[in-house]
Amino acid sequence: MAKPNQRNRTRKSGLFIVGIGALVLVAGAAATLLFVFGWTKISGVFAHDKTESHKGKVAVVLAPVTIPAFTKIDPAIFIDRKTGTFDVAWVDEKLVQEKGLVRDPGPFRGRVLRDDKAAGLTVSEADFYPRGTNDSFTAAVEPGYRGITLDATKVVGLDTLKRNDRFDLIAIIDVKATGSGKDSGIVMTPEAAAAEESARQWKTDRRVIVQNAKIINPAQKGHSGGQANGCFVAIRQEEADAYDDAIAKGVKIICQARTGLPGGDIRPVVEADGAPATDSINVISGSKAWRSVVPASKTEDKPDTDDKSDTDTAEPKK
């Protein structure tokens, strides 16, 4: 009886085991690639027959990294360091013309950026200051204004504002008198005395020293979360001295933010009328006379002196 061919059977078994091992390795590698790179990229590698159509579109450059405001543009800044080429996006040609999106950064060499430009965003003519502008905070100082640095620790609320926010500065001086301030020769009703004491306790001198100023470089807090540092702002030329005087006097300064809605609010601030809360009247009784303080009467409560009755025109008795 012939013996079975053990050599061929062993060879086939070895090839089968090797094949199974290779399949396991390929499946493992594919799973690893899918996990690391994601299905979108993997499918893009093998989909050679799927091409994106750019019909009716043109390429515009994108910012590869965040470009800070007031940066003087060098076309090389738009080159992605990883790829060595420009980052581009394909945009409808009509939209590119309407928005003035940048396709070639070469002509923008030396132009100064108005605001921060985040990575991956397009750039347009509107993003730049006029040609010849200095690459500093002074680029945002409008004619008729002066750029000054405010100490955010001395102006309440200044550190909460962002670039291009508009605000007013109010200086407040406490002029509260010491003592009662009551003259012994003055007679007061209880209501009038209470009103005068309240007015005395709350009496301050309030002045608007800066109006419609603009934040150019906001106050930045330290890395340790400490107090904010200087804040560069633009204020009207004639108001710069008023701020310096207020700081020299050590008065309290409050920042009041204006609306951030489109169009803004350029109306001047109208300071409140500081009319007293009390009135004084002269009282004559026989040979005696004194001054009496009473609560201030409302305008509508005061009699109209133009309206005279018949008794007002009567001849006085002699």
Between residues 124 and 293, the one the model is more confident about: 124
- Average pLDDT value for the chain: 75
Handedness of CA 106, 107, 111, 115 (dihedral sign): negative
- Residue 227 contacts residue 153 (beta carbons within 8 Å): yes
Give mean pLDDT, residues 254-258: 93
Read off the pLDDT band of 164 (50, 70, 90). Answer: very high
DSSP result, 195-249: HHHHHHHT-EEEEEEEEEEEEEE---B-TTS--B-EEEEEEEGGGHHHHHHHHHH
Read off the pLDDT band of 9 (50, 70, 90). Answer: low
Give mean pLDDT, residues 101-110: 92
pLDDT of residue 137: 95
Give mean pLDDT, residues 64-89: 90
Each residue's pLDDT tens digit, 213-223: 999 999 876 54
Is it the case that residue 260 has pLDDT exceeding 60?
yes
Q: What is the pTM of this model?
A: 0.59
Burial class (CB in 10 A: 0-12, 13-18, 19+), 108: buried
Distance between CA 235 and CA 114 in Å, rounded? 19
Give mean pLDDT, residues 118-127: 93
Residues constituting the chain: 318
Between residues 257 and 8, the one the model is more confident about: 257
Count CA atoms closer than 13 A to 32's CA, side-chain side.
Answer: 6
Between residues 298 and 114, the one the model is more confident about: 114
Is it the case that residue 39 has pLDDT exceeding 50?
no
Range with lowest mean pLDDT among 91-95, 99-103, 121-125, 261-265? 261-265
DSSP-derived secondary structure letter, 191 = H
Nearest to 277 by CA among 196, 174, 186, 176: 196
User: Beta strand pairing status for 252-257 and 278-285?
Assistant: unpaired
Give mean pLDDT, residues 187-216: 74
Q: How far apart are the first and last CA of the chain?
A: 171
Residue tagged 């019909």 (tokens) = 55
**Residue type at position 211:** Q
Read off the pLDDT band of 290 (50, 70, 90). Answer: low
For residue 66, which phi and psi values (nearest 5 degrees)?
A: -70, 125
pLDDT of residue 307: 47
pLDDT of residue 205: 77
DSSP-derived secondary structure letter, 262 = T
Helix spans in the chain (H): 6-46, 93-99, 190-201, 240-249
Is it the case that residue 68 has pLDDT exceeding 90?
yes
137: helix, strand or coil: helix
Is it the case that residue 78 has pLDDT exceeding 60?
yes
Give mean pLDDT, residues 59-79: 93
Nearest to 214 by CA among 270, 140, 153, 271: 140
Percentage of residues in the chain with pLDDT exceeding 90?
39
Beta carbons within 10 angstroms of residue 302's beta carbon: 9
Between residues 39 and 9, the one the model is more confident about: 9
pLDDT of residue 4: 54
Residue tagged 């059977």 (tokens) = 9
